[in-house]
Amino acid sequence: MAGTTNLIMKTLLLFPVVALSPGTAVRYSANWTSIDSRPLPPWYDEAKIGIFIHWGVFSVPGFGQFSEWFWWWWKGAQREAEVDFMNKHYPPNFEYTDFANNFRAQFFNPDDWADIFESSGAKYVVFVSKHHEGFCNWPSEVSWNWNSVDIGPHRDLVGELAEAVRKREGLHFGLYHSLYEWFNPLYLKDKASGFKTQDFVFQKTLPELVHLVNTYKPELIWSDGDWEAPDTYWNSTEFLAWLYNDSPVKDYVVVNDRWGKGCYCTHGGYYNCADRFTPGTLPDHKWEKCQSVDNRSWGYRRNMKLIELMDLPTIIQDMVYVVALGGNYLLNISPMEDGMISPLFEERLRGMGGWLAVNGEAIYASKPWRVQGENTTVPVWYTSKNNTVYAIMLEWPSKLMLNLEVPKTTKDTIVTLLDNPSVPLKWLPTEPAGMVILMPEDTPVSHGQAWVLKLVEVA
């Protein structure tokens, strides 16, 4: 174990000093100015839609608001709901780590999962490799036995899912990774030193990150759990310089912005900012909104109720708003400890895929337009591809005439509805700008409660 750690640390120590030489690819230095200057690999902006998957030992108790924090609620914050739950239902000497024996994954079929993800219309998957509880969903050599091969499922969950996802053309595979671990003694020791020592980082975090990258070659790293310590404690810029210069994924890997206290919304690749980031105007940096179908938790809650889940129209409308404002939409589902995805989550994902199968042209590889939306006849969000503009209506107009104030028509303008693209719709320009469109009499079926008008050759 120690030998491996040393090797990995030596690898990490090699990178920062290589100078930029003519004729070779740009090399990044271990500072934010340099790291932040890397262009985002284009696949990410084009993909637009991802699926987030929170699965771990927390899925076993599967209880309470933000169930993935169960251990912390119970032992750290000592939140009443979790403390009562444990007192009522478990013997007094029961430890959180005992839950791992019941993390069985007996129905986990990674191909079934990949099929659902593909059917959702998503173009990337972000799987929790390790959450703040520290349990590794892959055989980490520096995790003692706190991983899915030594206990619980006795399977390499990351590896199996990576392989199944990669069989689907057009689905990218990414990993979520928590930098900190609430109760790891090494972390607690560093924390007690005011983060002056870095034993946890050098013996756990960095070896694991490098191992994940070299073994599973994730196309995206969704970093989290950074906020208690500065990025200099995590050696984040050193890790990212290695990732961008010398790792096997250097040409296409994408990362987010959670790399140390104060980093989010400021440094890294694309920005997540806070969970469920919901900007009011077009941000000037690529961003992603992560949102959970179960809005009260990222991990599975056995006590969730139907009314607490986002319904399909709400999901579609949220996704459309995000894409119109230049974001990506990362929709979370929460598998059960036995490896099943609740048919309720599956229904939402397949429903999103049904809508995207008709309307995806307005979403994938689109760009924000010069105006993001208007509310003239009905609420409309805009996306664009050069001179083609997509007006995404969140309501079907009650009158046959739909007014759009923003598009400037030309003599070549053609208007169609993506539900029925072979039938051009009649339209007339209005003064001083805008247009009025004669809508079809019958409302097309849209399971997502959003309809797309394609406006060809408008300005």
Of the two residues 151 and 365, which places its CB atom closer to ligand NAG in the complex?
365
The pairing of strands 172-178 and 124-130 is parallel
DSSP 134-175: --BSS--TTSTT-BTTTSTT-S-HHHHHHHHHHTSTT-EEEE
Residue 411 CB, shortest distance to ligand NAG, in Å, is 20
Please, are residues 171 and 122 in contact by the beta-carbon 8 Å criterion? yes
| 6 is a site residue for ligand NAG (CB under 6 A) | no
CB of 373 to ligand NAG, least distance (A): 3
Question: Alpha-carbon distance 253 to 40, whole Å?
Answer: 9
310 binds ligand NAG (CB under 6 A): yes
- Of 12 and 128, the one with the shorter C-beta distance to ligand NAG is 12
CB of 395 closer than 8 Å to CB of 376: no
Cβ closest to ligand NAG, residue 13 vs residue 102: 13
Residue 66: DSSP 8-state: T
| Contact status: 31 vs ligand NAG (CB under 6 A) | yes
In the stretch 359-398, what mask flags binding to ligand NAG with x, by CB under 6 A?
------x-------xxx---xxx---xx------------
Distances (CA, A) of 117 to 112, 126, 362, 453: 9, 11, 20, 27
Verify binding: residue 1, ligand NAG, rule CB under 6 A.
no
Instruction: Name 50's bridge partners.
Output: 124, 330
Closest-CA residue to 357 (of 97, 49, 44): 49
Name which of 137 and 384 has its Cβ closer to ligand NAG: 384
Q: How far is the CB of 367 from ligand NAG (least distance, A)?
A: 6
Shortest spacing between CB 87 and ligand NAG, in angstroms:
27
Of positions 34, 197, 303, 342, contacts ligand NAG by CB under 6 A: 34
Close Cβ partners of 274 (under 8 Å, ≥ 6 residues apart): 264
21 forms part of the interface with ligand NAG (CB under 6 A)? no
Tokens 């998503």, residue located? 122
Alpha helices in 311-372 (DSSP H): 312-324, 343-359
Site residues for ligand NAG, window 224-263 (CB under 6 A)?
A: 235, 238
Interface residues toward ligand NAG, by CB under 6 A: 9, 12-13, 29, 31, 33-34, 202, 206, 235, 238, 295, 310, 314, 365, 373-375, 379-381, 385-386
